[in-house]
Structure 1
């Protein structure tokens, strides 16, 4: 049974500052709340810093978690209010039906695979010079236009589409080469990050990612496919806060 959790983070505490600064540390803290074997647990998480004084951590797990360690180390233990909420995710999944619209939020790492990077690193150039059969290089999209295009060209394979939004300003997120009205989606945050993988700090062993948060309105086209991606995540870098798509019902809309 899947569970969606929301944990309030106190950014003024020392433990919180460590977690907020390091996706690797946050991943370890999230795994610490699961009762099963961490390597076998399928987990997605996302940090929403809408309010910098009270950021929220959302986590989707396949088992019911215990976030006591996060509340005590990085929250407001003993204070009034709901500092940690764990909800059964099944009721929302049961609402998915073709044509149903939802508000959505997704933090993802838009990437492309290429065999000829424009600006190859020393390590990449060595592989290119070696010739022979080789895998392509996975590179992040760096511009907002490319990142938005990555998202919009993949929604069908994820089980939804993003309706047009004629009410938005012309050219807000549309391709100016076409006369199509913009889609009901916007990019709210973009971050380029590079950090060591594990205890290794060599440059070639670093994790490099360009995380992007998309928000807007989607329309369900394939409930089974959308359910699969809600539970399994979207795109790479899932261990580091990417891939979690969350939905919210839109009152009065089909």
Structure 2
């Protein structure tokens, strides 16, 4: 079975401040809630900070989790309300059908693989000088590039983006004159995350974007696989979890 959880985070507590500042620490906390083979099971998670005073942590796990440790150290353990909601994901999966539309949200790590970075870092220049023939993975830094990265991959993820009813289109990055159809799609948040790993002196840098919009399923099998496995890279650091809701009009 698969379970989708929502955990309330208290940003004023010491443990939560550490989690909110470092995706590696938050990932460890999520995996600490998985009782069955936590080193083998890959959990997806996402931190939503629409209200910075009430962050919400979402997690998708294959086994039923226990979030007591997060509630006690980073939540409101003695307050009223539902601190950690855990729901069976099966009823949602049963609703998936070709042509069905859903509102969605996902935080992703849009990247490109290139042999010639436009503005190479000192480390990338060193690799070029050494004659490295491996493509380098770089994060897309502009909203336009991040949007294009997303829209170009929806078919391989088993869905399409319906065209917007009012907008006329947005410029194609390859040709500013050519207009691509506008979609029911927004970037609602963009971040540059920097954190350290114990085994690496160089900091990890991630450029992330939170996408919200309307999708239409084109391939139920592929779409289900992406719901369960996530989309894009950096899944251990809060990227890739696609959540669904009834269709709604974007603001």
Common fold: TM-score over 0.5: yes
Match of 2:213 in 1: 216
- After superposition, give the CA deviation of every residue in 1:197-254 in whole Å (9 maximum; x if it has no partner): 2x14522xx3211010000100000010000001001111100000101111238xxx
Give the Cα–Cα distance (whole angstroms) in 2 for the partners of residues 191 and 3 of structure 1: 27
In the alignment, is residue 232 of structure 1 matched against residue 204 of structure 2? no
Matches within 5 A, 1:175-194: 175=172, 177-194=177-194
Corresponding position: 1:144 with 2:143: yes
- Aligned residue for 2:247? 250
Q: Structure 1 CA distance, aligned partners of 2:171 and 2:10?
A: 38
- State the Cα deviation string for residues 64-108 of structure 1 (Å, max 9, x = none): 000000111111112111111000111111111110000000100
The equivalent residue for 1:60 is 60
Residues 117-165 of structure 1: CA deviation (Å, up to 9, x unaligned): 1222222222222226x32100000000000000000000000000011
* Corresponding residue of 1:89: 89
**Greater percentage in strand:** 2
Q: Unpaired runs of 5+ in structure 1?
A: none
The separation in 2 between residues aligned to 1:130 and 1:14, in whole angstroms, is: 44
CA distance in 2, matches of 1:191, 1:220: 28
Verify the 8 A CA contact 1:166 1:181 in the aligned structure 2: no
* Distance in structure 1 (CA, Å) of the matches to 2:200 and 2:131: 28
Task: Report what 2:10 is aligned to.
Answer: 10
Partners in 2 of 1:249 and 1:96 — Cα distance?
12
Q: Is the 8 A contact 1:187 1:213 kept in 2?
A: yes
Distance 1:102 1:135, change over 3 A: same
SS at structure 2 position matched to 1:40 = coil
Which structure 2 segments of 5+ residues have no match?
none
More displaced 10-residue stretch of structure 1: 83-92 or 115-124? 115-124
The residue aligned with 2:109 is: 109
Determine the structure 1 residue equivalent to 2:161.
162
Shift of 1:174: 5.5
> 1:105 touches 1:215 (CA, 8 Å); kept in 2?
yes
Please tell me the root mean square deviation across aligned C-alpha atoms, in Å.
1.6
CA distance in 1, matches of 2:171, 2:103: 19
Taking a change above 3 Å as real, the CA distance of residues 77 and 217 of structure 1, as seen in their structure-2 partners, is same
Q: How many equivalent pairs are there? A: 245
Seen in structure 2, the aligned counterparts of structure 1 residues 52 and 36 have a Cα distance that, compared at 3 Å, is: same
SS across alignment from 1:228: helix
Displacement after TM superposition at 1:50 (Å): 1.1
Equivalent residue of 1:107, what SS?
Answer: strand
Partners of 1:156 and 1:136 in 2: CA distance: 24
What is the aligned partner in structure 2 of residue 22 from structure 1?
Answer: 22
